[in-house]
Structures are given as structure tokens and as C-alpha cells.
Amino acid sequence: DGGITQSPKYLFRKEGQNVTLSCEQNLNHDAMYWYRQDPGQGLRLIYYSQIVNDFQKGDIAEGYSVSREKKESFPLTVTSAQKNPTAFYLCASSGTGPLYGYTFGSGTRLTVV
């Protein structure tokens, strides 16, 4: 079945360590997105990519980095520069644009201790 896979579901890291969250899709979608979800804050856009080897910053890109070397993959690295990294991270993709809706992964809950 086609879909988006985020792994791992739960991730624990020590403060000061970089961590990479995986996002893979087999929907042949061109665009991929990373959102951060915090209680009472809704979803905030971190980075997005419309095509391979290209990506744009969202509203809260500071402390994060991404790459898009393959159409299927859009990993997110949470760096030690991110002041408050503990959150629920959601990856999404869309085919011909947001008009036709996003397909979301099931998310990764990152806890930094």
C-alpha cells in the first residue's frame, strides 16, 4: 500500500545531540513537508520541498536542517541549536499541490532530556 512512513515513532535524545527523523513515501509525490505540533500551537511549518534537491524554509526553520536527495525521502535533522526540540513531528506529502490534500505520516514524538 502507498503511504508515508515516519520512523521511529518515539525517539529520546540527550540535550546537545543532533538527531535525524526519517520520512519516506512511496506515493510518487513531488512535494514533501515537515511540521511541528505542540499542545495548543497547532501545526507549524518547518521546511518543505517541491522537487528533489530543492527545499524552502518554513516559519520555524531555525535549529533544523533537511535534505532532499531522493524523491521518496525527506529526512529532518534536529540540531543542538534548536532551543526546545521536544515535540511531535509530522511529515506530509502532496502530489500536484496542496489543493488535492496532504498525506500525513503517523508522526515521531521526540523527547530531549
Q: Return the residue of 50, 73, 79, 80 that touches another protein, per CB under 8 A.
A: 50
**Minimum distance of another protein from residue 73's CB (angstroms):** 17
> Beta strand pairing status for 10-13 and 108-112?
parallel
Report how far residue 32's alpha carbon sits from residue 91's, in angstroms, rounded to the nearest whole number. 7
Interaction between residue 2 and another protein (CB under 8 A):
no
Report how far residue 3's alpha carbon sits from residue 26's, in angstroms, rounded to the nearest whole number. 6
Interaction between residue 56 and another protein (CB under 8 A):
yes
Q: Return the residue of 4, 21, 66, 112 that touches another protein, per CB under 8 A.
A: 4
